[in-house]
Amino acid sequence: MESGVPWGYLIENCRIDVAALHVLYNYVMFPECFSGRDKGGCGLNDMATLMEHNHQDNLRWLKENGQDEYRCWSKLHGQFKGKTLVVASCGPSLTHSLPTLYRRRDEFTLLCLNRSMRAFMDPDVKPDFYYFVERRGIPDWVSEVEPHSGSPTTKFDLSGIQMIGTPQCDRNIVQCFDPDLCYWGYTELGSMGHVPELQKLEKYDVKAATTIGNVPFMAWKMGFSKIIFVGCDFALDCHLGDHPEGADKGQVVQPTRMYFDRDWNNTHYSADPNWIKRMMPVMGVENRAVMLDPMLSGHCTYMEAVLDFAHYDGHMWCCNASPRGTLRFNCMPLDEALDHPGFTEEEPVCADSALLEDAVRRGD
């Protein structure tokens, strides 16, 4: 992989109402924050204020710990040449991958996102990296919580884990990490370009509308030769259940889990009837049925395009080893993916994306 080879992409529909997906995510996860200032929340039109406060608090925290500015994630560029990165996302199928990940943990670098870090808090399997860009996090991502209230109790031991994030992400999550192991960049969505401190940082990606959509580009810049995804479902587990109007009405397909360790009824999404109406059962990888939602489907399509660029233009071997879900890109079992040698000289790969762009312009 040549570090000087240009590589990038732009999904045109991301130009339209670029904040919509983030507003939707924050509304579903934290509806109380959209009730208005009178309830101590952040109003629907006040996301910029929330990001500004997070940035100010995070920068103050860094300075209190001896750092004058955000340490740019560019310091990680090219540091992992020839290495394998396993990315643990939060989908239901992560549960099925955990035994193999625990057994072979010393064979790869591990990056977790959001909730998936909960699965790797044993000292022998802790992740190397935690990637976090959400403006509002959830306490159980970084701590145990009281089951009924959701209030945080015992914090996880995050020592030794390197956090990669954005200055405007939730200070309550960020400041659980060692400030000397934090790296910073920004995303196109909510980039806060007017803030001088952020202008010194490098982007993670081009308009990715979902957190994991940034990761292939990041891994490519960091020098990884292989990237394997687990728990990357973009779908919900499902089962047959009785019709809500009574067993005499027959059976219906119902969602069971959206996250690897939380059932569907224990999520904010379950309270939104529109989610149920939009979801449809489809056949996923390994010919297993899952529940698909249009927004998840959009994220999945974007991810498949990103992986195509990373694999063929970026010459970074990409694989989805999630045993469920709808992400269809070079799918194979996890053990097989870990054993795979990656690219060899015989495999046809576009070595220079500039040549590809040239060909597209010429109509070749």
pLDDT digits (tens, 9 = 90+) for 41-87: 333 345 667 788 889 999 999 999 999 999 999 999 999 999 999 99
Percentage, residues of the chain above pLDDT 70:
78
**What CA–CA distance (Å, rounded) separates 208 from 301?**
12
Task: Give me the mean pLDDT over the 167-176 stretch.
Answer: 91
Q: Is 58 helix (H, G, I), strand (E, B) or coil?
A: helix
Enumerate the β-bridge partners of residue 262.
Answer: 259
Task: Give me the mean pLDDT over the 154-171 stretch.
Answer: 93
pLDDT at 15 over 70: no
What's the confidence (pLDDT) of residue 23? 36
Task: Give me the mean pLDDT over the 305-314 stretch.
Answer: 91
What's the confidence (pLDDT) of residue 242? 83
Residue whose tokens read 């009574």: 246
Q: Residue 258 belongs to what H/E stretch? A: strand 251-259
What's the confidence (pLDDT) of residue 188? 67
Say which residue, 350 or 338, is predicted with more confidence: 338
What's the confidence (pLDDT) of residue 237? 93
Residues constituting the chain: 364
Encoded amino acid at 210, one letter: T
Give the CA dihedral 221, 12, 188, 135, nearest 10 degrees: -110
User: What are the angstrom distances between the C-alpha of 234 and each of 51, 54, 59, 114, 296?
Assistant: 27, 28, 34, 15, 5
Average pLDDT over the chain, rounded to an integer: 81
For residue 20, the tally of other CB atoms under 10 A from its CB is 13
Task: Give me the mean pLDDT over the 285-314 stretch.
Answer: 89
**What CA–CA distance (Å, rounded) separates 354 from 303?**
21
Say which residue, 298 or 355, is predicted with more confidence: 298
pLDDT band with cut points at 50, 70 and 90 for residue 318: very high
pTM value > 0.95: no
Burial (CB < 10 A; 0-12, 13-18, 19+), residue 159, is exposed
**What CA–CA distance (Å, rounded) separates 69 from 62?**
7
Encoded amino acid at 81, one letter: K
Residue whose tokens read 């990761």: 215
**What CA–CA distance (Å, rounded) separates 216 from 298?**
17
The conformation of residue 186, written as its DSSP 8-state character, comes to: B
The secondary structure of 140-171 as a DSSP string is GGTEEE-TTT--EEEEP--TTPEEEE-TTS-H
pLDDT at 32 over 50: no
Task: Give me the mean pLDDT over the 186-208 stretch.
Answer: 75
Counting Cα atoms < 13 Å in the Cβ hemisphere of 85 gives: 27
Burial (CB < 10 A; 0-12, 13-18, 19+), residue 10, is exposed
Say which residue, 34 or 213, is predicted with more confidence: 213
pLDDT at 319 over 50: yes
What is the distance between the terminal CA atoms of the chain, rounded to a whole angstrom? 25
> 20-29 vs 47-64: helix axis angle to the nearest 10?
80
What's the confidence (pLDDT) of residue 47? 66
pLDDT at 243 over 50: yes
Q: How does pLDDT run across 79-95, given as a tens digit for each residue? A: 999 999 999 999 999 99
pLDDT at 39 over 50: no
Encoded amino acid at 153, one letter: T
Q: How does pLDDT run across 201-237, given as a tens digit for each residue? A: 988 875 666 789 889 999 999 999 999 999 999 999 9
What's the confidence (pLDDT) of residue 296? 87
Q: State whether the Cα torsion 168-170-175-180 is positive or negative.
A: negative
Enumerate the β-bridge partners of residue 88.
Answer: 112, 230
Percentage, residues of the chain above pLDDT 90:
47
What's the confidence (pLDDT) of residue 150? 67
Strands 237-242 and 152-155: unpaired
What's the confidence (pLDDT) of residue 67? 94
pLDDT at 146 over 60: yes
